[in-house]
Amino acid sequence: MNEAVAERLSRIARLQDLLGEDKFKAISHDRAARVIEGLAFDIATIADDPAKLREIEGIGPKIADKIAEFARTGKMAELVELEAKVPPGVLALMNIPGLGPKTVATLWKEGGVKDLASLKKIIADGSILSLPRMGAKSVEKLRESIDLAEQSGARLPLGLAAPVGERFVSAMAKVKGVKQAAFAGSLRRGRETIGDIDVLVAAADADAAHVAGAFRALPGVSQVLAAGDRRSSVRARIAPESARFSVEGRAGEADVGPTVQVDLRVVPPASWGAALMYFTGSKEFNIRLRERSLRMGLTLNEYGLFPEDGDQTPPQQRGVEPVASETEEEIFHALKLAYIPPELREDRGEIDRAERAFAGAKTRAARHAAAVVEGLVELADIKAELHAHTTASDGRMSIEGLARSAKQRGFHTIAVTDHSRSSVIANGLSAERLREHVAAIHAARKRVRGVHILAGSEVDILADGSLDYDDRTLALLDVVVASPHNALSQEPEAATGRLVRAIESGRVHILGHPTGRLINRRAGLSPDMARVIAAARAHDVALEINAHWMRLDLRDTHVRAAVDAGCLIAIDCDVHAEGDFDNLRFGVQTARRGWLPAEQCVNTWSAARLAKWLGKKTGHG
């Protein structure tokens, strides 16, 4: 319900902006939408309790009433009233870059524009030039923005954006005059989808023009959108092979445009830390930090943290020395905050945690080591892969090939978990084939030393919650990953019961990709995650973050709820081919966004501890 409520409150805010209503009402609706979207629990569980709703920061009595109304009726009366005042296609125009509510209102009310088609028409016939603030240059920019919006399509999945960002950063780091280079924005924060890619470069003033020119001339640039010494924007091609994926035995391509926008910012080396913090965001996080700075008599911008003296001219233009600017760490510490990792910067309570951590540190060394989340999981912590497929079902590697790949990557354990019989499209194994497969896995242990090879299965959770193999067959396995693959449009109550029944079977170690979603392609199940998490906690079942960039399921907010409940988490690559191991970083980023400590992740445990946990249900030593 969180997503549905947030979407409607956000739409109310945009309509209020468009209609010129009280801007503070629009701001409050927009803020409430962001808060609800980031909640770690299902707001439906408290929708009938106004007092509990109002306990959530950013939700006042009127917005609480709207949430309760939506829970009862599936509608928000105010939204219905606002939408009746605006043609359906007008609101969509605000998705075009550069078109704000005032401009859209002018196009609609004075230019008769009701949708994108009618906007294109008045551009083509030139009648748009008669409208206020619509000169030739403005119209040309608008035309380019429309082309850009149509080319971009859906937001880019993290796994497609990361290689582009890394390619640009690597190339820019080699340009003469560049002192530092990094990507920022939502890509650095590890969000599951990316709108555009922000590349930040530190270079002296004398080198800025050369550096920006080198950026615009990089291989892969298909179009220059803006050119300047400090700021440039380009369209960059996505390598075709990057957009291909394979899940559930099906090959496909991601629903993305052929290019993505990449923006360059060139900053002075002395301002690197401040700029990196500013352009990493999120917007809401930056607002909170600026508010905190002002309360402390300071002002924060992309050039540094400065004393606040009341002068409206930017301090860097007046030669004011910053209190801190060169590193993010020194800025956080100057604000009396522990360092906040990029993945956590979403204004979801991390600033308050950072304040407490800093206050509890009594020495400089302790402040440097203070953490918002103690032992936050890192890529290097992962020592086991517990969800992998071979040629026995829809994988591309043999058992031995899979084991050797895991060993080369420093893992102490690899679980072979080919599909069960109901996954026909993925060449799922019948009970008889599974018994033969288990014997082959046992034989492979003698040929590949130095890594524990577990005999397992990714067992389908059928629509009624039963498992795809009987107990006698499941008893052959060292590890059972139970996943939903079919009937993914079930109603939430049925989906919840289905997953909980599988968890309560006593045979499941890991609940694999619990919703079955595919980013930008399929919504998957919408279970009551609070009940699923409670069941998993009670039955010692780990919930999986499937690290494939098309899944990232659990999503970050579900991870946060599971962490808060004390539930175990598994981070798995769902390996089908050698390259799938590389997706691990996306799973770890999602885990970090959910505040997961390494201790709570079963893939970080020693081989002995992991085997002991698995053996509780199998009896295998």
Give the pLDDT confidence of 431-456 residue by residue, as tens digits.
999 999 999 999 999 999 999 999 99
pLDDT at 146: 80
CATH class of 270-372: alpha beta
Residues of the chain with CATH 3.20.20.140: 379-618
Asked if residues 411 and 387 have their Cβ atoms less than 8 Å apart, the reply is no
Q: Residues 475-496: what's their mean pLDDT?
A: 95
pLDDT at 310: 87
Angle 471-511-498 (CA atoms, 0-180°, nearest 5)? 75
Q: How far apart are CA 533 and CA 377, in angstroms?
A: 20
Stretch (H or E) spanning 233: strand 231-237
**Burial zone of 365 (CB within 10 Å; 0-12 exposed, 13-18 middle, 19+ buried):** exposed
Q: What superfamily does domain 153-267 belong to in CATH?
A: Beta Polymerase, domain 2 (3.30.460.10)
Pick the CATH number of 41-152 from 1.10.150.20, 3.40.109.10, 3.40.50.150, 3.40.50.2020: 1.10.150.20
Residues of the chain with CATH 1.10.150.20: 41-152
pLDDT at 603: 98
Confidence band (pLDDT; 50, 70, 90) for 243?
A: low
Residues of the chain with CATH 3.30.210.10: 270-372
Q: What superfamily does domain 379-618 belong to in CATH?
A: Metal-dependent hydrolases (3.20.20.140)
Taking phi first (over 0 means left), then psi (-120 to 50 degrees means alpha), and beta for anything else, what does residue 597 get?
beta
Q: Residues 460-465: what's their mean pLDDT?
A: 97
Cα–Cα distance list, 138 to 90, 110, 132 (Å)? 19, 17, 11
pLDDT > 90? residue 363: yes
pLDDT at 38: 74
Please give the model's pTM, rounded to 2 decimal places: 0.84
Q: Residues 175-202: what's their mean pLDDT?
A: 96
Q: Residues 194-202: what's their mean pLDDT?
A: 95
Q: What values do phi and psi take at 182, rounded to 5? A: -160, 155
Residues of the chain with CATH 3.30.460.10: 153-267
pLDDT > 80? residue 253: no
pLDDT at 254: 63
pLDDT at 249: 56
pLDDT at 184: 98
Write down the mean pLDDT value for the chain.
92
Q: Residues 509-522: what's their mean pLDDT?
A: 93
Q: How far apart are CA 42 and CA 95, in angstroms?
A: 28
pLDDT > 80? residue 257: no
